[in-house]
Amino acid sequence: MPYKLARQIDHEVNMYHGQNPLQTALHVQFKAKSIWIPPQLNRIKLNVGITFINAITPIGIGFILRDHMGKFLGAGTTVEHAGSSEEGECSGLLAAARWASQQHLKNIVLETDNKGAAG
């Protein structure tokens, strides 16, 4: 299921930019540490996080957008269902990518703390 969600994320980015996902301005990173590292000067960073308890309980998805100075630019939340934390994180990345697309944002670094979802 995470693979399917990753393909949906690529599709959303592809639809917005009309390009191959590898050529778009959206980049997904894995960050294991809890220290926020700013993006490069010409980029903005969208951090994604979820809460996962079990496959029955809905997950909470949250994301926050900041510039290279750490200035708050926007945020969002939603609720989904997922069978695993990795699937939930992929759903969070998809929700954040869709939100960014609706906001017409470019030069985004999409960041997660789930290595499997960033893979």
How many Cα atoms within 13 Å fall on the side-chain side of residue 44? 18
Its pTM stands at 0.69
Architecture of domain 2-17+24-112: 2-Layer Sandwich (3.30)
Question: What is the rounded CA–CA span in Å between residue 38 and residue 22?
Answer: 22
Q: What are the mean pLDDT values of the chain's consecutive 10-residue runs (119 residues total)?
A: 59 57 50 75 92 92 93 93 91 93 92 71
- Domain range list for the chain: 2-17+24-112
Q: Compute how many other C-beta atoms are within 10 angstroms of the C-beta atom of residue 77.
A: 11
Structure tokens at 43: 């980029």
